[in-house]
Amino acid sequence: MTSSTRSSTTERAMAATRQDAEGSRASSPPATPPEMLPTPEPASVESGSSRRQPLAVWVLAFAAMVSFMGIGLVDPILKPIAANLGATPSQVSLLFTSYLLVTAFAMLITSYVSSRFGGRTTLMIGLGVIIVFSTLAGTSPTVGALVGWRAGWGLGNALFIATALAAIIAVAHGGAEKAITLYEAALGIGLSVGPLVGAVLGGWNWRAPFFGVATLMAIALLAIVFFLKDKVKISHNIRPADPIRALSHGGLLVMGIAALLYNGGFFAVLAFTPFVVPFGAYGIGFLFFGWGVLVGVFAVWGAPWLRTRLGLTNAFALAFALFTVILVVMATNVHHAAVIATCVVLCGIPLGVLNTLFTETAMNVAPVPRPVASAGYNFVRFLGGAVSPFICGKLGENVSEAAPFWFGAACVAVGLAVLVLLGRRYLTKVAIAH
């Protein structure tokens, strides 16, 4: 066979092969693009990773727990502070107001600071500020000085808690939802342990809880210094005005307003209950310990269960409605200590659910970096926490002891209306996307 014949035969064979291949492709289904290929079941991946979280996650969770202890720490010692410093309930309530007002406005710069200096450095700065001002609070000779030092404490709190959430999301295994669950667990433990620490130390001296927090924060700071070696990456190129701009997104603004109103009820319970129950420091400490336990349990397990069974919007609505009913029961039974104590503990159920649902939704409702969303959302919601204690104190002094709880119930009911009427479409989008 000549070379030309062999060449012709080879070309005919290749042509036939190409035709067969084209026919095969035409008769078979199209290839699946890479992004459509099946991925491993998330449950199996997450279950393995969530059991083996990095040490950095537990360090951050411990530090967050100690930070949240500072919120409920003062509850058992509100009456001793008032007695020793000659203050009224509304004046003592300023311990919450100054703390949370500064926290709210400082939230506007937290994402900028963390993007400039890094998450690890910002966490250490925040803890350092808390250590300094909690120590100074323990030395206060007047209620005015104590309120002022609590304001400085709020600055450190803002730098820490906003960055801690973004940091836990950045280093945790199992995705953002798993990280938020860990964060909310730290919140629940901190809220429950804080009143106990306040009661035990406050039973000895009302100044001791402030020094106790400074000591615990110093331990948390050392843990971050020695065990959080890696730099926590936070979104870069964040400007100070970005959290305010993020609030132009309707979903984030609605979430913030609903959370502001919810905090009206939250702090009616937290700030005024100690003045209507005939309990000492230990009684109030154990009362809020039970409350904090339920906050933690329902933040970690109750909220995901309700969201799965009822859907995001219905889970929000049920928790808001339950909280409103509990506040109404407290308002109508303000002179029955057993009823008030039972209601305080039961408040932990809707509060735990709402804390988790709000945090998860706020992190996902707007197309902005999570640190920016967290800062903008927390700025709005902490304004409610700043105003509510003082209003409740004034209502309790000048109207009646039931008035603060009626105020809280009204705030929560309006918050439910805002969420259902204005936020439903945003909640639906978040639920579909996640």
- Would you put residue 205 in left (φ > 0), alpha (ψ -120 to 50) or beta? beta
In a domain, 6, yes or no: no
Position 114 in a domain = yes
Nearest to 159 by CA among 103, 226, 99, 101: 103
Q: How many domains does the chain have?
A: 1
pLDDT surpasses 90 at 138: yes
CATH code, 228: 1.20.1250.20
DSSP for residue 301? I
> Greater confidence, 433 or 292?
292
Q: How confident is the model at residue 8 (pLDDT cuts 50, 70, 90)?
A: very low
Residue 248, pLDDT score = 92
Place 49 in a pLDDT band, splitting at 50, 70 and 90: very low
- By residue range, what is the domain housing residue 289? 53-433
Share of the chain above pLDDT 70, in %: 86
d(CA 303, CA 157): 25
Q: What confidence tens digit (pLDDT) does each residue in 302-326 have?
A: 999 999 999 999 999 999 999 999 9
Lowest mean pLDDT among 124-138, 155-169, 257-271, 284-298: 155-169
Read off the pLDDT of each residue in 231-239 and give the average, rounded to a whole number. 67
13 pLDDT band, cuts 50/70/90, is very low
**Would you say residue 291 lies in a domain?**
yes
Contacts of residues 28-33 at CB distance under 8 Å and 24 or more positions apart, as own/partner, are none
* Positive or negative: CA dihedral 179, 373, 190, 228: positive
Please tell me which residue, 386 or 15, carries the higher pLDDT value: 386
Instruction: With respect to residue 40, please indicate whether it lies within any of the assigned structural domains.
Output: no
Confidence at residue 140, expressed as pLDDT on a 0 to 100 scale:
95
Q: Which of 3-7, 27-31, 224-228, 350-354 has the highest mean pLDDT?
A: 350-354
pLDDT recorded at residue 61: 87
Look at residue 9 and tell me if it is in a domain: no
Which of 342, 326, 179 shows the shortest CA–CA distance to 266? 326
The residue ranking higher by pLDDT, 162 or 26, is: 162
Listed in sequence order, the residues at least 6 apart from 227 whose beta carbon sits closer than 8 Å to its beta carbon are: 55, 56, 59
- Answer whether residue 223 shows pLDDT above 90: no
Interval 324-333 mean pLDDT: 98
Q: Let me know if residue 191 belongs to a domain.
A: yes
Residue-level pLDDT at 103 = 92
Residue 16 lies in a domain: no
The verdict on residue 3 lying in a domain is no
What local confidence, expressed as pLDDT, does residue 113 receive?
86
Mean pLDDT of 209-234: 83
- Are 353 and 298 spatial neighbours (Cβ–Cβ below 8 Å)? yes
Task: pLDDT band for 233, please (50, 70, 90 cuts).
Answer: low
State the average pLDDT for the chain.
Answer: 85
DSSP code at position 95: H
Q: Contact at 8 Å (CB) between 269 and 344?
A: yes
Start-to-end CA span in the chain (Å): 69
